[in-house]
Every structure is written in C-alpha cells, then in structure tokens.
Amino acid sequence: MPAIKTGKKGGIKQFLKGRKSYKTTHTITRNKDDSVTFDLWIVCKYRKGKRKKYGVQYFAYVTYKIKTNLDYIYQDYRKRFGIESSYRLKNLCRIRTNNKNPVLRLLFVGISFLLVNIWVNLLWLRISLKRKGSRLIYRTLFVLKQMLAFLSQALQRKYQVVESIYIPSG
C-alpha cells in the first residue's frame, strides 16, 4: 500500500531522503493509547531523463509481515495501476441496483467487466493504428461512455422502454 506523503508534522516526507532504498519502522500516534507501528519501505529510483526529468524519485510503501526485497515491492505495485484502472472503468458502466441478492450483483459486475473488455478490444482491433513498435490507440475517437450510449440506445429501441404508466382513477 502506498504511504501518504504529507501530514501535520511532515508525515512520510521526512523519510524521503538519501539516494539508497531502505526499510524502516514507523509509529503513528493519535493519542496516548492509540498508536500503530508498521514497516515502511522507501524505494529510490533514478529518472535518467525519463519524461525529461532527472534525479531521484521516491516511492514509499507501507507493508505488514512481508518477507521480500525492495525491488520486488516496487515491481509488484506497478502492476496495480492496470487493476485499479479497470475497476475505475468498470464503475463507469456498472449496473446500479437496490437488490441485495449477491448472485445478481456479481452478475452485474461481470457484465460491466465484459463491457469494458469489449470496448478495449474494439479500440485495439478497429480504432488503433498499427505502427512500428506499438499501436497508436485513438481513445478520444471512441470513448467508453459513447459505446455505452450506443448500447443503451439499441436496447431502448429493441425493448421499448416504458417511461410512464397510466393508471385510471376510480
């Protein structure tokens, strides 16, 4: 889990010094009887002109009972970006319901992941441009919300959504 950099008394920023990666313990105290001690891993990486930036870049991670090396923590957390991005996209096309049935709710989550994967495949196979090295993907030409609007329109035409029901009085 990444550590938060700021706080009232400097927070984790006080550990972001030096040019070598290291591991330490840190204690956060709210009041006299309320404190937490955890392992804090500071990973230093050199930018080497990437994105026209130079110098040391720090990554701070909070861990609990992990026996591994510092480089593995950095490499493993880099994979999280793709996972978190897919969850963010899933929330754009999530089916909202008040139903408490866990099977139905899981089905809706599966459908939303399926819609995101269909969109990614459409981008990759139909909208991206092949070039030397990697593909050029035009995300702005076909946004996920646009695909969802197309699907919504098609479903409304097919199943003709009822907007109001007339109830006779008396």
pLDDT (tens digit per residue) in 95-151: 888 999 999 999 999 999 899 999 989 988 888 888 887 888 888 888 989 999 999
- pLDDT at 72 exceeding the cut of 90: no
2-10: average pLDDT: 58
DSSP structural state of residue 121? H
Dihedral pair phi/psi, residue 43, rounded to 5°: -110, 125
Whole-angstrom CA distances from 104 to 41, 96, 124, 149 are 41, 11, 30, 23
> Which residue has better confidence, 68 or 100?
100
Could you tell me the sign of the dihedral formed by the alpha carbons of 11, 16, 17, 22, in that order? positive
Mean pLDDT across the stretch 74-81? 76
* Mean pLDDT on 82-88: 77
Domain borders along the chain are 11-78, 90-159
Query: What was the pLDDT predicted at 46?
Result: 83
Q: Are 95 and 112 in contact (CB under 8 A)?
A: yes
Q: Between the ranges 20-34, 86-100, 139-153, where is the mean pLDDT highest?
A: 139-153
Q: Tell me the whole-structure pTM to 2 decimals.
A: 0.53
- Read off the pLDDT of residues 35-56 as tens digits, 9 standing for 90 and up: 888 888 888 888 887 778 888 8
- Above 70 in pLDDT, residue 7? no
- 148 phi and psi angles, rounded to 5 deg: -65, -35
The chain-wide mean pLDDT, for the chain, equals 82
Alpha-carbon torsion 105, 142, 140, 133, what sign? positive
The pLDDT assigned to 48 comes to: 80
The more confidently predicted of residues 44 and 81 is 44
What is the edge-to-edge ordering of all strands in the sheet holding 22-31?
22-31, 34-46, 56-63
Given a cut of 60, whether residue 2 has pLDDT beyond it is: no
CB atoms closer than 10 angstroms to residue 93: 20
**Residue 22, C-beta contacts closer than 8 angstroms, at least 6 positions apart:** 41, 42, 70
